[in-house]
Structure formats: structure tokens, C-alpha cells
Amino acid sequence: MRIINVKDYEEMSRKAADLIAAQIILNPKSVLGLATGSSPIGTYECLVELNRNGVIDFSHVTTINLDEYYGLDPTHDQSYRYFMNKHLFSRVNINMANTHLPDGKAKDIDAECRRYDDLIESVGGIDLQLLGIGHNGHIGFNEPSDEFIPGTHCVSLSESTINANSRFFKSRDEVPRKAITMGIKAIMQARKVLLIASGEDKKEILKKALFGPITPQVPASILQLHKDLTVITPLDI
């Protein structure tokens, strides 16, 4: 585990973007695992700038996102497909056919989960996985549980996650109660993992995840076992 302390969110975003950019430069055909939420927005802004300045080229990059709300159409302004298009995909020279998220409108959830796992395997796994961390320690939408679930699966979102995400919707009632999420196996098999976290409200859970017991009640704690984990944070942990 390597922890990089920075002064603020902006520096965290720049350093995270620099690491992702280095991955793309070293391997222009990189498979990037991507995250959504407020944490990576600054990182994506920096990547857009690097692309526009000719530093990095997304034309041969493949992306695989962690998760998607179940029941939301890709055009819904709170779907994660919409988020990724808005903050990154539509602003860089990436082939949209190489950008992947779970299908939140899939009629057969089990088949969709199998398809997503097969997709990850077919591209040779993830070279670099970008992660944030939820207030309850979730990564992707792998919520606190009695076990680590290895494969892509549909999950019922916890009350804390629903409450945290309600700020993005008009009301709490509009927040989807389920999501399709990449499982722990694909995350842990990523060749590199990059975790970013900021905000004092994340300080205690980040400590638990990085230095506490490894337990599915704090899903991010399993990252302690990853062979190449980099954490970038302005938090004093």
C-alpha cells in the first residue's frame, strides 16, 4: 500500500489524473476501471485537459465502469452512463463502443451480470481501477455484507447509501433502491488500484478500510490485500 498525502481535493485530482495518464502513455490500449460520484469529477476534468493538450490519447483505451443504477435509462440525468458521458467520454477522443457500463434496464439481471463478468474477462481484466469509498466503506456498490461477493451482482442499496446519493435527486424517494455492481473479484484482480478520498466525513471510514480488520462489513478493507494499491487523500489518517 502506498499512501500519497496531498493538500486538497484539487491536488488529489491532479495526482490521480497523472497516474492514469502514465498508465495510458505506457500502454495506449489500457483497460481502465472507472468510478462515478463526486470524488472522481476533478480527476476526469484533469484527464480532459491532458487529452486536449495532446498529452494522452484515448482512441485505443477501453473503459469498464464499476456500476449502474438498476431501473434507470442511460439517458436519465442521474444514470452513471449519463454521468460518464458528461464528465469524460463526450469530451475526449474515446471510441464510445469501447466504453462499458452494466445495463440498468436489463430484463434478465442474472444474465446481465454474467455478461459483464464475461466482458471483463474478454478484455483481459482491468489494468488500473479507479475507486472512491462510500461512507459505509462500499467500493462500487459492494455494500457491507456477511460475505465478499466475487462476481457482478444486483445489490439492494443500504439506507446510508440512499441517503448519501439523495443529494443528486429531487427527492430521496427518487433514488433507485437497487444497482448492478462489479464484484470484488474483478476489482482485486485489477493490476493496479487507485483509491481517492477527500472530505472529513470520509476520514474515519478510510482509516477503518486501510488499517482496520479485513471484513465484508467494511468492503473496502479487502484492498489491504491488493498487491499494488495507491491511496491519494488530503485526509490526515
Domains in the chain: ranges and CATH:
2-233 (3.40.50.1360)
117 among known catalytic residues: no
Q: Does 89 have pLDDT greater than 90?
A: yes
Q: Does 48 have pLDDT greater than 90?
A: yes
d(CA 195, CA 149): 20
Which tops the pLDDT comparison, 173 or 50?
50
Considering the candidates 103, 143, 165, 226, report the single residue annotated as catalytic.
143
Q: Sheet holding 99-100: strands in order across?
A: 2-5, 229-233, 192-196, 128-131, 31-34, 62-65, 99-100
> Which pLDDT tens digit goes with each residue over 167-199?
888 889 888 899 999 999 999 999 999 999 999
Beta strand segments in 59-204, E:
62-65, 67-69, 99-100, 128-131, 153-156, 178-181, 192-196
143 among known catalytic residues: yes
d(CA 134, CA 198): 11
The predicted model scores a pTM of: 0.95
Predicted local distance difference test score (pLDDT) of residue 174 = 86
27 among known catalytic residues: no
Considering the candidates 87, 138, 153, 226, report the single residue annotated as catalytic.
138
103 among known catalytic residues: no
Q: Coil, strand, or helix at residue 171?
A: coil
d(CA 196, CA 57): 23
Considering the candidates 67, 68, 117, 127, report the single residue annotated as catalytic.
67
Torsion of CA 149, 75, 87, 159, to 10 degrees: -40
